[in-house]
Amino acid sequence: MAENPFFAPSDLPYELPPFADIREEHYLPAFERGMAEQLAEVDAIASGTEPPTFANTIAALERSGRILDRTATVFFSIAASNSTDGIMEIEKEVSPQLTRHSDAIRLNRALWARIKQVSTEDAEESWLLEKYRDDFVRAGADLSEPEQDRLRALNEELSTLSTAFSQSLLKASTESALVVTDPKELDGLDEAKIESLRKDDGTYVLPLLNFTAQPGLAQLTDRDVRRRLYELSVGRAPGNFGVAAKMAGLRAERAALLGFPSHAAYTVANQTAKTVEAVEEMLGQLVGPAVRNAKKEAEALAEQAGFAIEPWDWPYYSEKVRQARYDFDGSAMRPYFELNRVYRDGVFFAATKLYGVTFAERSDLGGYHPDVTVFEVLDGDGSRLGLFVLDPYARATKRGGAWMNNLVDQSFLFGLRPVVMNNLNVTKPASGPTLLTYEEVNTAFHEFGHALHGLFSQVRFPRVSGTSVPRDFVEYPSQVNEMWVTWPEVLANYAKHHETGEPMPAELVEKLKAAEKFNQGFKTVEYLAATLLDWSWHKLAAGESVADPEAFEAGALEAAQIAFPLVRPRYRTNYFAHIYAGGYSAGYYSYIWSEVLDAESVEWFKENGGLTRANGDHFRGELLSRGGSIDPLTAFRNFRGREAGIGPLLARRGLS
């Protein structure tokens, strides 16, 4: 395997992975060699005879594992974006191996003894040193041998279960899809959308996206079809209930082993929230107003429908009420939201105005799929900043949702510039332009906020590069970037009719803004229900078992006073990928925790002139460029000039 492309750094610009050269048979040998090489490097550090210093211990650890890093970065990006049966088999095999590998490093007593002796006067080095010490303690470095053995077993089992949950959910997106034979049942969807759903056997298949309220529920006119779609959505991957309950129990045991009363307490201890009580205090301020608003909205929907609505009716009749009350029809915006124009004249335009960066498509640089586009990003002075990789379309081989990840981490240690990727799940039309919904446009700006966090990173060490910040802070910059979606100068530049080029009518924009707070009760309850469900699963104490996960779910929502039959959680337990197949266990609260900071920041931008280069440079310099190299709330205070309060968030959501 001398030709294995992972064995040496890519020779493409910015070390973009050479996707054209990578084959499935390259992964396992690269993982094997990468893990062996890093363990040898770690053993050399741990057995060093020189007194431990930052350079020969922490910086040396930062330099270790380059083959493994390249391999894992590409593999897990492909597993999420363009998986195959072969990739899924490799994932099953390698995930527990990687868990064992991580434990072998962080439970290395000789290495831990050296780390504890390191000291440094440099501020960035001190911050990184504390991160390493926290990582090792939280990984069990101070446990006894028998306790570490049990921890290793728990970690490996959790890794295996997480892979099983993820793969089950990926299959369910198509296996539980809505299948119809008569296109009349899809009345309400536009013709292009219906045509994109037609399969070779004459059926029409509407796959499930990874949340409860499927987009089709707002458009399908046939109530029974809406019911079928909704029931498929909430009932998918039923085997995942048991997997989730098992994982929650194992996480509780691991937390107790590490000295915490629950996995929630373990998780928040190194986040900006710090304590369970701080999270619960914030959530407690939102539940009552959100439920009251949702109940008022339900009354309006029932009046519009003329009957007692069911959960599958809510999205459909909320659009009807929105049209009646605000004379606003969301579908009327789609002709003005063409995918390429949204990015080039909207997302990129706003970034150029704020930060001076420019974007040039690199058709000579390929991705892992024909739908992937690569852009070179240049800074305001014309210097090379990094690459932005865009993969916008849904497919059966891609997991649901939208996300950003780094293909190459910026660091001065390695002299690397960032390569960042955004994945969306937009339905690709059979022909013609790709027209987005307003929600999809918002998602594009949101994910690009993450991309900017990665692109603007200016740090020495990869461990703190870009979005390597606490989970309850990482969503904050991306949420701020959503403010430019309807900013007049930005909207006028990209919201143009895909056929005529005419700008979106001003009255449609005004109606959108007037209608934005409508249905916020639903959206907030849906989100809070998922958040509190996550919290309930992860407040279990060691030894608590859940025999009936669905009953536990219902009881948890009742206990949190968020149970409302017409609004189920945005994610139920069986398809809650954030917490069982991602990094958000006991962390889904992060979105609204970050939104407190976001709402404060949007207020600051508006107070200081909005879309200006001076404002962008301030946000970039004090916050986006710092990655995880300083305390995140210090970075926020340096930008905002004060602590954050919840008032702007309550006002934004109509909950004050």
Contacts of 362 (CB under 8 A, 6+ apart): 13, 374, 375, 376, 387
Q: Give the three-class secondary structure for 262.
A: coil
Structure tokens at 599: 């709402």
In this structure, are strands 403-408 and 419-426 parallel, antiparallel, or unpaired?
antiparallel
Closest by CA position to 389, among listed 424, 415, 353: 424
- Fill in the DSSP letter of residue 216: G
The rounded distance, in Å, linking the Cα atoms of 342 and 349 is 9
Structure tokens at 240: 């995942």
Please state, as a whole number, how many other Cβ atoms lie within 10 Å of the Cβ of residue 284. Answer: 11
**Positions marked catalytic:** 447
The rounded distance, in Å, linking the Cα atoms of 498 and 346 is 14
Structure tokens at 600: 């404060």
In this structure, are strands 358-361 and 204-206 parallel, antiparallel, or unpaired?
unpaired
Closest by CA position to 57, among listed 9, 111, 14: 111
Contact 408, 455 (CB under 8 A): no
The CA–CA distances, whole Å, from 15 to 7, 408, 479, 580 equal 13, 7, 29, 32
Residue whose tokens read 């900043």: 385
The rounded distance, in Å, linking the Cα atoms of 138 and 132 is 10
The rounded distance, in Å, linking the Cα atoms of 469 and 321 is 41
In this structure, are strands 403-408 and 384-393 parallel, antiparallel, or unpaired?
unpaired
